[in-house]
Amino acid sequence: WIHLLLFSLSFSVCKTIAPTAFQTCSYNQSHNSSSPFFFFYENRNDIKNGSILRLTTSPYQTALQLHERIQSSSMDAKLEALKDLANASRDITFAQEFINLDGISLLTQMVESGTDFGDLLSFTLTAFVELMDHGIVSWDTFSVAFIKKIASYVNKSAMDTAVLQRSLAILESMVLNSQDLYHKVAQEITIGQLIPHLQGTDQDIQTYTIAVINALFLKAPEEKRQNVIRSPTPINDEMAHQLYVLQVLTFNLLEDRMMTKMDPQDQAQRDIIFELRRIAFDVECEPNNSGSIEKRKSMYTRDYKKLGFINHVNPAVDFTQIPPGMLALDNMLYFARHHQDAYIRIVLENSSREDKHECPFGRSSIELTKMLCEILKVGDENCHDFHPMFFTHDRSFEEFFCICIQLLNKTWKEMRATSEDFNKVMQVVREQIMRALTLKPNSLDQFKSRLQNLSYTEILKIRQSERMNQEDFQSRPILELREKIQPEIMELIKQQRLNRLCEGTCFRKISSRRRQDKFWYCRLSPNHKVLHYGDLEESPQGEVPHDSLQDKLPVADIKAVITGKDCPHMKEKGALKQNKEVLELAFSVLYESDEYLNFIAPDKHEYCVWTDGLNALLGKEMTSDYTKSDMDTLLSMEMKLRLLDLENIQIPEAPPPIPKEPSNYDFVYDCN
């Protein structure tokens, strides 16, 4: 009681003495930035149990002192002042006082001067971020010089981690809070300059970088976004690769939540489940004295059963399975808050059905989240699928989940499923999602519309059709016919490859400095006995005659064809630093004793044509992806032609005449 009396008396003194306040003694970086740092008589109820306080000067006096101290000529004194400023700035009362002293302008001038580095700059930017987070000052007030300076910290290859983090956070806020600043930031920094930060090992830097990239995408004009992601023209290989890297890193950020078990004793985590119950049944948390404990437990158990949890008494136990861990709960809460009508409809629909026919929302969400992580290979570096639609929303994975959980509920009803059919429904839903993703939708809306065309009935039709085709082509007579035709098709592919070698290809010469200096041309003689090659001054327009190619290599002298990193020109100094694409296009011809003719194909198609052709000349098997693809296509066509029922049908030797054009095209229907 004495302590309580002294505590109350202290606040009464604070109320009467303006320049004083209570301040928390320690600053925890993980502390919620919205919590007060200074306490007065008015906000004394915000003090948490166990907090240690000390009497200090008022926010105004503190702001005045720090305003003077951060301009000190002593570097040590200035550093300590900036540390204190960064800590105090999270308090909105202090922030208001410091901003009134024109503190923001002072910090921007310090940054623009470029005289501070390391910890000085880090704490300056930290204080700036904390002050701006209160929303007191408009982002539109900052100069181009300040933007350029912040962008320069991001564009530097070697920069202090803390400075880089704060700079990325500032750029993200600028882009999201001002359309005018978006244009200025976009002039200073490109996505290509941000990509290297994604290739490091610091996950915080990766997170901030992805946030900036997402902000740039979201604020970009629609036509510019379409040009980058949803253009009707194909995305070039480099752009697709960089977006794929970004997608993998973005998904991998989910891995931590996916592999985190829920702690059934953690009240903050349990509050999320209470929130799901509150939104679904429009109930507020009852006070502790409302009814008996048994009655409240019974009511909770009933509601958790309606929500579809496996453990009705303590649903927190459902989230101890990893994967998907806490990621499933995150998805459910996002769905409940951002698609509230759909969430309530699903829960109430199923709670009104018979026990056997209800689609359990809780269990479905957990299993669906696990399935989506498997499909998108969350946490797996070997994921090779790029999906443009995940770049059209800042919470794309959560929105993806929201679409899929509604699909699951729809499919459950179409299948008239019972609780025993749960796994069957999940298999159908997986197939629906996989088939829709195969079509590479450009947006989440397009993905949703594709799913509408893949109802359970349609999936059954597709399965039946595929089964019939498979049965037709797996019978013994068909397999024997395939084996008979295959050598003919392979010979046809071989002739096509050799004909392409006879036409020749223009290759680029890449010097040791990786500059593309000049061209050279190589072609096979019509009798398939000699390779003619020679240098060119520029890229030719059409075929180059044999006579103009000075050098020759008899095919009989060729000993082997070497590809990839085993090639001599890929082992030279500095060559291994070349990008992966160059390694995949490199091949060499070994002749005589350790003599090589080195190639770097202009693209993957030419690489396959030349390696196949050279192997064919040496009597070896053609193993490229293009050979396999051509074999499948031509073999399928030939099989279908030979299996046509042509008995008593006269096949004309000349093609039929092309009919005249119709007088109008009113009968045409645009399928799009």
437: Cβ contacts below 8 Å, ≥ 6 apart = 375, 385, 387, 447
* Maximum separation of any 2 CA atoms in the chain, in Å: 113
Q: Residues 637, 485: contact at Cβ < 8 Å?
A: no
Mean pLDDT of the chain: 81
pLDDT in tens, 534-569: 888 777 777 788 777 888 899 988 888 988 888 887
pLDDT attached to residue 671: 61
Give 184's contacts (C-beta < 8 A, 6+ positions apart).
Answer: 144, 147, 174
What end-to-end distance do the CA atoms of the chain give, in Å?
78
Mean pLDDT for 95-101 is: 90
Place of tokens 């993703």: 437
**Which tokens belong to 422?**
């749960």
Q: Which of 87-96, 452-461, 515-524 has the lowest mean pLDDT?
A: 515-524
Q: How confident is the model at residue 337, as a pLDDT? A: 93
Q: What angle do CA 608, 614, 620 make, to 5 degrees?
A: 100
Residue 381: its pLDDT value, please? Answer: 66
Closest C-alpha to 420, from 324, 367, 355: 355
Decide if pLDDT at 1 tops 60: no
Closest to 380 in 3D by CA, of 258, 240, 560: 258
Q: How many CA atoms lie within 13 A of 206 on its CB side?
A: 16
The confidence score (pLDDT) of residue 191 equals: 72
* pLDDT tens-place string over residues 304-347: 888 989 998 889 999 999 889 999 999 999 999 999 999 999 99
Residue 500 lies in a domain: yes
Q: What percent of the chain has pLDDT over 90?
A: 24
What is the predicted pLDDT for the residue at 536? Answer: 81
Q: Report residue 474's pLDDT band, with 50, 70 and 90 as the boundaries.
A: low
Residue whose pair of structure tokens reads 């740092």 in the numeric block: 37
The reply to whether 460 and 528 lie within a common domain is no
Same-domain check for residues 421 and 560: no
Q: Could you tell me which residues come within 8 angstroms of residue 179 by beta carbon, excluding any fewer than 6 positions away? A: 219
Do 276 and 418 have their domain in common? yes
Q: Report whether pLDDT(258) > 60.
A: yes
Is the residue at 66 inside a domain? no
Has residue 244 been placed in a domain? Answer: no
Least confident piece of the model among 53-57, 74-78, 504-508: 53-57
Of the pLDDT bands very low, low, confident and very high (cuts 50, 70, 90), residue 265 is confident
What is the residue range of 31's domain? Answer: 1-50
For residue 532, the cross-strand partners are 523, 552
Q: Rounded CA gap, 78 and 119, in Å? A: 11
Q: Are residues 388 and 444 in the same domain?
A: yes
Provide CB contacts within 8 A for 219, sequence distance 6+. 175, 176, 179, 182
Q: With cut-offs at 50, 70 and 90, classify the pLDDT of residue 473.
A: low
pLDDT score, position 454: 92
| C-beta of residue 561 within 8 angstroms of C-beta of residue 614 | yes
Judge if 409 and 319 occupy the same domain. yes
Q: Bigger pLDDT: 192 or 140?
A: 140
Give the Cα separation of 243 and 229 in Å (integer): 9
| 54 or 260, which is more confident | 260
Q: Is the pLDDT of residue 92 over 70?
A: yes
Read off the pLDDT of each residue in 105-127 and give the average, rounded to a whole number: 86
Task: Report which of residues 352 and 106 the model is more confident about.
Answer: 106
Mean pLDDT value of segment 372-387: 80
Whole-angstrom CA distances from 309 to 192, 284, 333 are: 45, 20, 14
- CA proximity to 441, closest of 453, 429, 423, 430: 453
* Judgement on whether residues 332 and 421 belong to the same structural domain of the protein: yes
Mean pLDDT of 248-253: 78
Mean pLDDT, residues 655-662 taken together:
87
Regarding whether 284 and 427 lie in a shared domain, the answer is yes
Mean pLDDT of 610-631: 91
Do both 607 and 514 map to the same domain? Answer: yes
Lowest mean pLDDT segment, chosen from 225-229, 469-473, 557-561: 225-229
User: In total, how many domains does the chain have?
Assistant: 3
- Determine the Cα–Cα distance for residues 354 and 489; give it in Å rounded to an integer: 60
**Which range among 96-110, 598-612, 637-651 shows the weakest confidence by mean pLDDT?**
637-651
- Asked whether the bond before 323 is cis by omega within 30 degrees of 0, the reply is yes
> Rounded CA gap, 559 and 393, in Å?
55
β-partners of residue 561 are 589
Contact 133, 171 (CB under 8 A): no
Cα separation, 224 vs 242, whole angstroms: 17
One domain for residues 492 and 463: no
pLDDT of amino acid 343: 93
pLDDT at residue 672 in the model: 55
When pLDDT is cut at 50, 70 and 90, the band that residue 16 belongs to is very low
Is 173 within a domain? no
Lowest mean pLDDT segment, chosen from 36-40, 64-68, 239-243, 252-256 = 239-243
Most confident of 246-255, 377-386, 619-628, 660-669: 619-628
Give the model confidence (pLDDT) of 436-470 as tens digits. Answer: 999 888 889 999 999 999 999 999 988 888 776 66
Q: Quick one: CA torsion of 442, 579, 516, 627, rounded to 10 degrees?
A: -70
Q: Is residue 365 part of a domain?
A: yes
Query: What is the pLDDT averaged over residues 176-200?
Result: 80
Q: What is the pLDDT of residues 19-40, one digit of tens each?
A: 556 565 544 333 344 445 677 6
Interval 215-224 mean pLDDT:
68
User: Is position 65 within any domain?
Assistant: no
Q: Is the distance from CB of 10 to CB of 16 less than 8 angstroms?
A: no
Distance CA 330, CA 542 (A): 59
Assigned domain for 107 exists: no
What's the pLDDT band for 627 if we cut at 50, 70, 90? Answer: very high
The answer to whether residue 281 sits within a structural domain is yes
Say which amino acid occupies 231.
S
Same structural domain for residues 493 and 460? Answer: no
* Residue 518 confidence (pLDDT) above 80: no
Q: What is the 3-state secondary structure (H, E, C) of 510-577?
A: ECCCCCEEEEEEEEECCCCCEEEEEEECCCCCCCCCHHHCCEEEEHHHEEEEEEHHHCHHHHCCCHHH
Does residue 620 share a domain with residue 507?
yes
Per-residue model confidence as pLDDT tens digits over 270-305: 889 999 999 988 765 454 445 567 777 888 888 888
619: region left, alpha or beta (phi > 0 left; psi from -120 to 50 alpha): left
332 and 464 both lie in a single domain? yes
Q: Given a cut of 50, is residue 101 above it in pLDDT?
A: yes
pLDDT at 362: 93
CATH number at residue 530: 2.30.29.30
- Sheet containing strand 38-39, edge to edge, reads 38-39, 20-24, 53-57
pLDDT at 407: 95
- CA distances to 61, 69, 125, 392, 488 from 65, in Å: 6, 6, 19, 47, 90
Q: Where are the beta strands (DSSP E) in 387-439?
A: none
Q: Averaged over 169-197, what is the pLDDT?
A: 83
